[in-house]
Chain A
């Protein structure tokens, strides 16, 4: 069964709207979660590392004021795309790692964001 839940699956909204995407770890605590972005037929690009109780660490070239990340609890990280524009349309996907040795990162089902 799923270990990471992501919501919503699809978002279609007007330009200028802010959109919040949630990533939840199910039945385990995740001090670190990751947010990725994927354009059609391309690989996953890490946007930021979400750290519980502290500021997110953003990858080079990712605007922190544009992509707000909040990791207020050990099971929830949120990504808010502020004042979204058509170029922000993409597939956004989060991941978290199960605790324990040699555990991989598990991914949410992703969110397809379309800005009109």
Chain B
């Protein structure tokens, strides 16, 4: 079985600062995908970034980067230059198989991020 753990229920960060949201995972699958999604208060789930288990380099997408440490089974999200609009719930998720494919996602409990002036 797969398990995702997000140990930070809530985080505060000052505008323009960087913030790291923690995510650890547990799986016996040799191939898997790791995802981060953002959920604003309006409810929609916004895909941010993806990391495949065999990817050699950490994924980056604009201000988002994924600090993937396979041996530690961690996939932390780093948001640089935080903006007020980054305030939201952030979910880490995992799929079986690297592509994510038609495979279902297992979600963590989420981290509520609040960006302050």
Contact = CB atoms under 8 A, between A and B. Distances in A.
Interface in B52-84: 52
Interface residues of B, number: 25
Among A95, A102, A105, the one with the most B-chain Cβ atoms within 10 Å of its Cβ is: A105
B47 A97 contact: no
A44 interface: yes
B50 A104 contact: yes
A109 interface: yes
B102 A32 contact: yes
B40 to A, nearest CB: 11
B43 A105 contact: no
A103 B99 contact: yes
Given A97-B101, A102-B50, A102-B100, A43 B44 contact: no
Contacts of B43: 91, 93, 109-110, 112
B32 interface: no
A115 interface: no
B45 A104 contact: no
Given A31-B102, A97-B100, A105 B108 contact: no
A106 B50 CA distance: 12
A43 B91 contact: yes
Contacts of A43: 91, 107-110
| Chain A, interface SS category | strand
A42 B109 CA distance: 6
A42 B102 CA distance: 24
A109 B33 CA distance: 23
Contacts of B44: 107-110
Given A31-B102, A102-B50, A104-B35, 17 more contacts: A43-B108, A46-B104, A93-B43, A97-B101, A101-B99, A102-B33, A102-B98, A102-B100, A103-B99, A104-B47, A105-B47, A107-B46, A108-B44, A109-B42, A109-B44, A110-B45, A112-B43
Interface of A: 31-32, 34, 42-46, 49, 91, 93, 95, 97, 101-110, 112
